[in-house]
Chains A and B, each alone.
Chain A
C-alpha cells in the first residue's frame, strides 16, 4: 500500500482542456512537493507547499495543500503538449529525513 496515493494513474486529454490530479494520504505531512518527470530524465521540482490550505501558482499550474496537510492537488488550465509527463508528489512526515513518493500520474496532452 502506497503511503501517498495519486489519481488518476493515467490521463490523456486534448490540448486546451483543464485537468486536476490528486495526491492523497491518511498521514499528515510537514511539507509536500510536486515534481514533473519527462522520458529519459530525472524528476524536476515544480513546487513545495508547507502550510495547510496553501495555494501556489506557477503560470497555468495551481497547487493546493489540504487544510489538514494530508492531501494535495495540481490543477492545469488550458493544457499544452509541453505539459506531457509523469507528475509525482512527494511528502515529508514530521521529523523524517527522507521523502516518500507517490506512484505518479502519467499525463499525455494531445495536440
Chain B
C-alpha cells in the first residue's frame, strides 16, 4: 500500500518555465490537497479538491492551477514559474473533511 505518492521528488526550473506536479493516492480518498512549506511559515494550502472533477482555492492559490480528472490523481501546475515559488510542495489526502491528512513525501522545487 503506497499511500500518497508524489512525482518528481526534485526539480529545478528557470523563471518562466512551466511544469506539473503529480500526486497519486491509492486509499480511495475523496479529499485531496496541495500545500507549500516554507521556512518559518508552516504549511499553506494552495488548492484542494473535495471529489473527482472539483477544485477550490486555498490560502495561496495565485500562480498555480490544479486538476482532478480522476479520483486518485491531483495535479498541480505552474504555468510560468517565479523564484517566489521555490518551496517544498506536499500533497495530502483524506477520507472526509474531518479526517486526518495523509501526506506524500514532498517535491522540492527550485526556481532560478
Interface, chain A (partner B; CB < 8 A): 2, 4, 6, 9, 31, 33, 35, 40-45, 48, 88, 90, 92, 97-99, 101-104
Question: B105 touches which one: A35, A40, A90 (CB < 8 A)?
Answer: A40
Q: B74 within 8 Å of A by Cβ?
A: no
A42 touches B104 (CB 8 A): yes
Main SS of chain A's interface residues? loop
B98 touches A31 (CB 8 A): yes
Q: B51 within 8 Å of A by Cβ?
A: no
B90 touches A42 (CB 8 A): yes
For the complex formed, measure the closest distance between the CB of A7 and the CB atoms of chain B, giving whole angstroms: 13
A4, B59: Cα distance in complex, Å: 14
Are A103 and B105 also in contact (CB < 8 A) when A31-B98, A42-B4 are?
no
A92, B98: Cα distance in complex, Å: 8
Contacts of B50 in A (CB 8 A): 97
Q: B41 within 8 Å of A by Cβ?
A: yes
B103 touches A43 (CB 8 A): yes
Further 18 A-B residue pairs, CB within 8 A, beyond A42-B4, A42-B105: A2-B42, A6-B42, A33-B100, A41-B103, A42-B90, A42-B104, A42-B106, A43-B101, A43-B103, A48-B100, A97-B56, A98-B33, A98-B59, A99-B101, A101-B43, A103-B40, A103-B41, A103-B42
Q: B1 within 8 Å of A by Cβ?
A: no
Interface size class of B (residues with CB under 8 A): 20 to 34
A-B pairs with CB below 8 Å: how many?
Answer: 51
Contacts of A31 in B (CB 8 A): 98
Are A101 and B105 also in contact (CB < 8 A) when A42-B92, A45-B100, A48-B100 are?
no
A31, B44: Cα distance in complex, Å: 18
Contacts of B48 in A (CB 8 A): 97-98
A104, B35: Cα distance in complex, Å: 15
28 A-B Cβ contacts within 8 A? A2-B42, A31-B98, A40-B105, A40-B106, A41-B103, A41-B105, A41-B106, A42-B4, A42-B92, A42-B103, A42-B104, A42-B105, A42-B106, A43-B90, A44-B103, A45-B101, A88-B42, A90-B43, A97-B48, A97-B50, A97-B56, A97-B97, A98-B33, A98-B45, A98-B58, A98-B59, A103-B41, A103-B42
